[in-house]
Structure 1
Amino acid sequence: MKKAYVLHKPLFIKMKDHQKYFQELSREYPTIQSICQEIIHLQSLLNLPKGTEHYISDLHGEYNAFAHLMNNCSGVIKEKAIVIFENEMSLQDINELCFLIYYPDKVLTQKYPQVWYRDMILKLIRLTRYVTSKYTRSHVRENIKNEYAYIIDELLHAQLDELDQQYVYHLQIIDTIIELDEADHFITILTEMIRFFAIHRLHILGDIYDRGAFPDKIIDDLMNCQRFDLQWGNHDILWLGASLGQPACIMSVVKNCVHYRHIELLEKSYGIPLRKLMMTATNQTDQKSHHQAMEEFCLNMLYKLESQLINTYPEWQMDYRLSQHHDSQLTNQEQAILNDLQKSFMSSQKLQKHMQFLLKHSSLYLKTNHHLLFHGCVPLNDDGKFYHHHCFGQELYGKAYFDEVNLHIQEAYYQHDQESIDYLWYLWCGDYSPLCGRRIVLDQPCEEVKNAYYQYIQSEETCVMLLNEFGLYDHECMIINGHTPVRVKEGESPLKGNGKLIVIDGGFCMQNHRKTGVAGYTLISNSHGMRLKTHHIHLGSYDIHHDMQYESTIIYTRQKQEMIKDTKDGYQLLERIEDLKTLLSLKRQGFYQ
C-alpha cells in the first residue's frame, strides 16, 4: 500500500504557490544530505564578520585616481601590511611590498634572485591569509579561479611553524614554483587575491562621466568587477539621454567635452566625429580657437533646444533656465549637424554597451545595511516638507517619486518613450531634480540657488524624516550622498544632521580641488564601525615613492561587532535557509524524490 503523506496547511500553500521554484531547488540539491550540507554552510556564514564596504562618489572621469584607489583599496592594504609586518620590516620595505601588490606588472619587469621570490611569496601568503580571515575556507576557495587554486588553498590554510615538517613541505612547493619560472605568475595571482578580498563591496554614488578624460575606462574596469553597485548621477543620466538621441542632452555632452578639452573621448573612444561641427562653428563665430568656437556654437544650439523643452513641458517649471527669449527654431545647418550627432550617438556600439551596463547596475537610490544611498537630494520645499512633482500625469513625492523615476529611466531606454527620454534632460539640470537640485541659469552668469534640502540636512530631524520615508527606522541608519563638493578648506564638514547624513563628494576631479582643498573621500564600513578617508591632493603619477595619502576620521565605532546576519546579505541568506528547510521537509515527506 502507498504511504499517505500528511502535509501541514502552511507548507502546502507555500509549495503550491512556488512549486516550480522548489522543483528547480530540488534539482540543485537532489539529496537530503546535500540540502543539510548547504544549510550548515549558510548558517555558518551568518556568524562571520561582515565584509568591508567602500563608498565613493563623483569620479568624473579621473581614471588614474580611480584605478589607484582600486589597487590600494583606499589605503586599507597598506594598513593591514603595517599590522602584520611593522615589527620586522621598515616602512620603506612595506611600501615596496605594497607597490608590488598594487602594480605587479610594473615591479615584475625584471628577474630577481630566488631568495627575493621566496621572501615575497611567503609575505604575500601571510597577508593573503590575514585579508581572507573573515571569509570561510569554502568561500575563499570558490573565488580562487586559477590554475594554482589547490596549491594556494594548501598554503593559506595551514599554521606554519619553522620547526614543523609542514613548513619544509611548503617551502619546497614555493621553491619548485620558482624553479619552474612561474614565480611572476604566482605572485600576480596572490596580489589579485589580496585586492579582491580587501573590499567586499564597492558603492559608487554617481557621476562617473564629464570633466575628466577617461570615464569610459572606469566603466570598462567596473565591467570586470564582481561586487559593486551604482547610483545614477546627473552627469551619467545626461550621457544616457544623449545615447538615446535626446537633442539637448547631446549638445550638453558635446559642450562639456569641448569645455574640458576632452574631444578625444567622443571621437576616439566612442567614435562620434565632431569635424563638421568644428568647421561650421569656426566659420560662424569670431572666436580665436576652435574650442571656444565650438563651445559658443553648442551653447547657441542649446538655447534653442532647451526653449523647445520648456515650452513642451510647462509642468516641469523650467522657465528660469533661460533669462532671455531665444528663437527655438534651428537653422537648416544646425539641424543637419544635430541629425548627424544623433545618428553617431545612437549608433556608437561602445557607448550603447556602456549605457546598457549602467542601466543594469544603476538605480536612483539604494537601501543597504541600514544606509540610504543616493547621488543628489530628496527635493524639499522652503518649509522643509517634501516637494510634490507633477510628472507623467501624477503628483508624486519622496520615495514614490524616486520609484516612479526609476521605472521611467528604464522605459526611456527600452521602450523609447519620448516623454521619459526628455525627462532625462530635466533630471540632468532641474532645480527640483533629485540628481541636480540646483537652479542653474544657462544663458547668463548667475549664482546657483540650491534646493532647500541642502539647508535642512543640517537638522537631525529632517534626516530622520528622510530615512523614515524610505523605510529606515533603526538608530544606526544614515544617509550617504555625493553631488555637492564639501568645501573642507573653508571649514565645512561632510557630516550633517548630527551624524545622520554624510556627503562624500570631496572633489575627486581635479577641477574641484581648488574648491574643496582635498582630492575626494572614501567612506569605509566594516564590522567594527565606519570611518572616512580624506584623500590628499596628488597631481603626479603613482609610483613606489608616491602613494596616495589619506587622513582617516572615525565616524562611529560599534559596541558589538556586526556580523553577516545583521546585513542585507544576511537577510538574503536567511531567506535561502528557510527555503532549504522547506525543501528538506518536503523531501522527508516524499516530495521531489
Structure 2
Amino acid sequence: MTEMSEEKYLQLLAEQFPNIPAVSTEIINLKAILNLPKSTEHFLTDLHGEAEAFKYMLKTASGVIEYKIDQIFEEKLKDKEKRELATLIFYPEEKMKTLQKRGGIPPEWYKEALDYIVKISREVSAIYTRSKVRKALPHKFSYIIEELLHLNENELSKKDYKDQILTTIIEVGQAENFIIALSNLIQRFAVDKLHIIGDIFDRGPAPEKIMSFLKNHHNVDIQWGNHDILWMGAARGQRALIATALRIALRYGNLEFIEEGYGINLRPLARFALKIYPEVNQTVFAPRLLDKELAQPEISLISQMHKAITIIQFKLEGQLLKQHPEFRLSEALYFEKIDFEQGILNLDGKKYKLTDSDFPTINTDHPYQLSSEEEEVIEHLRYSFRNNDRLQEDIRFLFNHGSLYKKYNGNLLFHGCIPLNKAGNYAEVKIAGQNYAGRSLLDFFDDVVRQSYSLNKQEETYRDWLWYLWRGKMSPLFGKEKMTTFLRYFTTVEDKALYLEKKNPYYKKRENADLCKQILADFELDPETGHIINGHTPVAEKRGESPIKGEGRLLVIDGGISAAYRTKTGIAGYTLTYSSKNLRLISHDPFLSRENALNKDSRDTISATEVVKFKQPLKISATDIGKKLADDINYLLKLHEAYQNGSLKENYST
C-alpha cells in the first residue's frame, strides 16, 4: 500500500475507531482471537444426490459429537446411554416424539437431558468468542442459553442458579424447544467450516434437498465438479447439457427431484416418447434402480423417455462438435459412422453390431438434425430449465459460493485433476491462439464459468465451453481421454477395451510426492505442510487402494457416498476433518435410513485414519483468517500511533 493510500485507509479506519480507547479495545480483542484454537473444517465430496446420508454426516460431524460425548461422560454413562444422547442431539424432534409414543417423558428425563446437552454445548462452543456464539444463538432463547454456556458450576451458588433455570424451562413447557435449540447449536459448532469438493448432482434421488441444506449453512464453499457444471450449464439453457442431465436422471429412475423438487414438466417428452418409441430395448434403456422399486408401467414409460432424450442428446452433441472443431472431439461423431440399413457401427476399421438400430427420427443425410418434434421438446425443456425459479436460485448459489479450485488454510481443494501429459508435465492446451497449462488452465476455465453467467454477446459460446468442461479430454473436471457413453448404450462386445475411458496421467502421477509438492508450490502454498484434496475418482478401498497419495501430500476423499459406487469402494463415503489437533480421514458404513439411525442401540462404525497429528494445537493465528487479522492489527497499531503522535485527531463526540 502506498503512503498516500495508507493515509486514506487510516482515515477511513478512524471513522470506525475514533479514539485511543476504541482502537486499543479492538487490538486487545483481535490479539486474543489469534490465540484461540483453530476451528474444525469438514470436507465432503461426490454427494450425488444422497441427501439423507449427507445430512447425517453433518449432524454427527463424522463422529466428532460422539467423541465429545465419550470425553465428557466417559465413566458416567454406559455405551447405550451415550448412543441415546447422541441420537437425541442428531434428531431431537424425532427422538422426543418416539419417546412420547413409548409412554411420555417425565420431568426428570428433561432435566437430565438438558443438563447433559448444556455440558456438550459448553464444550463445543468453548473455542469460539462469546460474540460469535451469541450471533449463532436463536433469538428467543439467546439470553438464557448464553447464561447456561458461561456458568461456573464449581461454585455452589452458580450450580443452584443453573438448576433453577433448567427446572423453570421444564415448568413453563419449553424443555423440548430448548433441547432442539441446543442440539442445533452443537451441530453447528462441532464443525465451523464446510467444504464440498464437487458433484452434488446426479445419480442419487435428492440433490435439491442437499442444495436447500447448503443454502442454509452458515459457512460453506464449493469446488465445482463435472456433474455440477452439467447442471449449471443446463440451467443456463445449454441444450446438450439439458438433454444429458435428463438422460442421467432417467437412467437412474430419479424423476421425483426433476418433477416435484424442481417442478420441471416432462409431459411433452413423455408424449413424444410414447408416440415415437412404442417399444424399446429394456436391456439398454430400463432404469438402473438403486435402493428403490418401480411398477412395470412406470419402468416402461421411463425407458421410452430415456431412449428419446438419449437420441436427442447425441444429436445435439454432434451439432456442438461441428460448431466447435477446437474441442478436438471428432471421434464422438458416432452417428456418421453408422450404416443404418445394416445396423452396424464402423469404428477404427472394425464393425460393431448395434444393440438397438431403431432410429425413426434420424435423417441419414443429416444425422444430427433434430426432427421438428424433437426441436419442440428440447425447446420446451430449455424454457422450463431457464425459467425455473427454484433451479435458478440453486444454481446461482453454486455460482456464488463455488470455484474451480480453492486455497484455504494451506490446502489446495479441487474436484478432479490438473491435466498432465504422459511425461508428467502440465499439459498445454491451446485456446484461441493462447496456451494454458497448470494453474493458468484452471484459471481460464474458472473464468469461462463466470463469463457464462454474464450478459455479453459471447454468452452462448461460454455455455458451450461448459459442455467441454463436462466431458472434454483436457477438462480438469473430467480428466479422461474420451467418454464412451454412446458405445455403452449401443454396442455389446466381449472386449471391454472399447468402453475404456482412459484417465489423464495425473491420476497415476499423483502418487509421486514431488509432483504433489510442485503443484502446491505452483499455487503458492507450502509444499511441506499443505495438502491437495480431491474427489471425482472413487477409491477402491476393498481392493486395497489407499485414499492417501503422494506420501500424504494428496488425499482423495471420494469413498462412495453415492450408492452407485459402493460396490467399487466397499464403503459408503469418506469425510475429512481438519481441527486444531489433527487432520483425520474417516470412512463410513452405509447410511440405511433415518429410522435406523434413531432406533439402533450401537454407535456408528467409523474408521478414522490420523493423516497428520500436530505437535502443538493450531491456533487461529496459523489460519488464513489469522493472517488477515494480523494485517488488521498492524493497521490498528498504526492508527493508534497516529493518535498518539497527533497526526490524526481523536474524536470523543460519539
RMSD: 1.8
Within-5 A mapping of 1:172-183: 172-183=164-175
Q: 1:455: which partner in 2?
A: 508
Query: For 1:545, which of 566, 588, 600 is the aligned residue?
Result: 600
Which residue among 531, 534, 555 is the counterpart of 1:502? Answer: 555
CA distance in 1: counterparts of 2:263 and 2:649, whole angstroms:
58
Residue 87 in 1 paired to residue 75 in 2?
Answer: yes
CA distance in 2, matches of 1:131, 1:511: 35
Q: Which moved more, 1:323-332 or 1:185-194?
A: 323-332
Of the candidates 307, 321, 324, which is equivalent to residue 296 of structure 1?
307
Q: Taking structure 1 as reference, are residues 11 and 355 closer, same or farther at Cα in structure 2, changes over 3 Å only?
A: closer
* Paired residue type of 1:347: N
Cα gap change, 1:268/1:24 in structure 2, threshold over 3 Å: closer, same or farther? farther
Q: Residue in 2 aligned with 1:276?
A: 268
Of 244-253 and 297-306, deviating more is: 297-306
Offset of 1:22 from its aligned partner? 4.5
Equivalent residue runs for 1:213-252 within 5 Å:
213-252=205-244
Distance across 1 between alignment mates of 2:589 and 2:117:
28
Q: Deviations over 1:237-291 (max 9, x none)?
A: 0001001110110000010111111112111221211111112122222216122
Distance 2:473 2:604 in 1: 36
Q: Deviations over 1:488-542 (max 9, x none)?
A: 1111110111111110000111111111100000111111121111001243432
The Cα of 1:386 is off from its aligned counterpart by 0.7
* Amino acid of the structure 1 residue aligned with 2:503: K
Q: Do residues 123 (structure 1) and 116 (structure 2) align?
A: yes
Deviations 1:452-475 (A, max 9, x none): 110111111211121122112341
* 8 A contact 2:68–2:120 mirrored in 1: yes
Find the aligned partners of 1:551 and 1:579 in 2 and give their Cα distance: 46
SS in 2 for 1:543: helix
Which ranges of structure 1 fall in alignment gaps of 5 or more residues? 1-9
Separation in 2, partners of 1:490, 1:152: 49
Matched, 1:138 2:131: yes
Query: What is the aligned counterpart of 1:401 among 421, 441, 465?
Result: 441
Counterpart of 2:346? Answer: none
Alignment partner of 1:361 out of 377, 394, 401? 401
Q: Aligned partners of 1:562, 1:376: CA distance in 2, in Å?
A: 29
SS at match of 1:530: strand
The gaps in structure 2 that reach 5 residues or longer are 283-299, 338-366, 489-498
Helix, strand or coil: the match of 1:532?
A: strand
What is the match of residue 184 of structure 1? 176
Report the Cα offset of residue 323 of structure 1: 4.2
Corresponding residue for residue 325 of structure 2: 314
Q: 1:166 to 1:245 in 2, by over 3 A?
A: same
Equivalent in the alignment of 2:21: 33
Q: Residues 540, 181 of structure 1: CA spacing in aligned structure 2 closer, same or farther, 3 A cutoff?
A: closer
Query: Are 1:201 and 2:193 an aligned pair?
Result: yes
Give the direction of change, closer, same or farther, for the CA distance of 1:517–1:169 in structure 2 (3 Å limit).
same
Assess if the C-alpha contact under 8 Å between 1:23 and 1:592 holds in 2.
no
**Does residue 479 of structure 1 match 2:532?**
yes
Note the alpha carbon deviations across 1:341-378, whole angstroms, 9 max, x for none.
11110000001101111111000001111110000000
Aligned partner of 1:105: which letter? E
Q: Secondary structure at the match of 1:261?
A: coil
Find the counterpart in structure 1 of residue 341 from structure 2.
none
One-letter amino acid of the counterpart of residue 262, structure 1: N
Shift in Å at residue 107 of structure 1? 2.2
Alignment equivalent of 1:491, drawn from 544, 553, 556:
544
Matches of 2:406 and 2:120, distance apart in 1: 33
Give the deviation of 1:391 after TM superposition.
2.5
Is 1:421 matched with 2:476?
Answer: no
Q: Deviations over 1:381-408 (max 9, x none)?
A: 1111111122254211111121122122
Runs in 1 of length 4+ with deviation above 6 angstroms?
Answer: none
Secondary structure, aligned partner of 1:519:
coil
In structure 2, what residue type is equivalent to 1:543? L
Q: CA deviation at 1:558?
A: 1.2
Distance 2:77 2:485 in 1: 57
- Residues 1:73 and 2:61 are matched in the alignment: yes
CA deviations 1:84-133 (Å, max 9, x no partner) are 11201011111111111111111233352221111111111111111122
Cα contact 1:323–1:441 (8 A) shared by 2: no
Q: What SS does the aligned partner of 1:354 have?
A: helix
Relative to structure 1, the CA distance from residue 292 to residue 548 in structure 2 (aligned partners, 3 Å threshold; closer, same or farther) is farther
Q: Is the 8 A contact 1:538 1:548 kept in 2?
A: no
Cα–Cα, structure 1 residues 269 and 538, in superposed 2: closer, same or farther, change >3 Å? closer
Find the aligned partners of 1:479 and 1:338 in 2 and give their Cα distance. Answer: 40
Q: Secondary structure at the match of 1:506?
A: coil
Matches of 1:329 and 1:243, distance apart in 2 = 23
CA distance in 1, matches of 2:450, 2:223: 14
Counterpart position of 2:617: 561
- Structure 1 counterpart of 2:461, which letter? E
Whole-angstrom CA distance in 1 between matches of 2:521 and 2:398: 28
Counterparts of 1:320 and 1:543, CA distance in 2: 52
TM-superposition CA deviations, 1:20-59 (whole Å, max 9, x none): x555533333332222111111111111111111111000
CA contact (8 A) 1:322 1:443 kept: no
Q: Is the 8 A contact 1:316 1:390 kept in 2?
A: no
Counterparts of 1:121 and 1:539 in 2: how far apart (Å)? 29
What SS is found at the alignment partner of 1:451? coil
Does 289-298 or 379-388 show the bigger shift?
289-298
For the Cα contact (< 8 Å) 1:531–1:556, is it kept in 2?
A: yes
Instruction: Check the 8 A contact 2:198/2:225 in 1, yes or no.
Output: yes
Per the alignment, residue 13 of structure 1 pairs with: 4
The residue type paired with residue 64 of structure 1 is E
Q: Distance in 2 between matches of 1:168 and 1:590?
A: 52
Matched, 1:571 2:627: yes
Which residue identity does 1:373 align to in structure 2? L
Moved more, 244-253 or 301-310: 301-310
Q: Distance in 2 between matches of 1:84 and 1:585?
A: 47
Matches for 1:426-441 after TM superposition, within 5 Å? 426-438=468-480, 439-441=482-484
Q: Secondary structure at the match of 1:355?
A: helix
Partners of 2:474 and 2:503 lie apart in 1 by 9
What letter corresponds to residue 600 of structure 2 in structure 1? H
Q: Distance in 1 between matches of 2:96 and 2:642?
A: 56
- Cα pair 1:478 1:501 within 8 Å, conserved: yes
Contact between 1:205 and 1:233, CA under 8 Å: does it hold in 2?
yes
Normalising by structure 1, report the TM-score.
0.94
CA 1:358 to 1:338, structure 2 compared with 1: closer, same or farther past 3 Å?
A: same
* Residue type at the aligned position of 1:427: L
Instruction: Tell me the residue number matched to 1:585.
Output: 641
How far 1:295 moved relative to its partner?
1.6
Change (3 A) 1:139 1:265: closer
How far apart, CA to CA, are the structure 1 residues paired with 2:242 and 2:168? 58
Q: Please list the CA deviations of residues 46-92 of structure 1 after superposition, one character each: whole Å capped at 9, or x if unmatched.
A: 11111111111000010010111111111110111011112010111
State the number of aligned residues.
580
2:193 and 2:14 mapped to 1: Cα distance? Answer: 30
TM-score under structure 2 length normalisation: 0.86
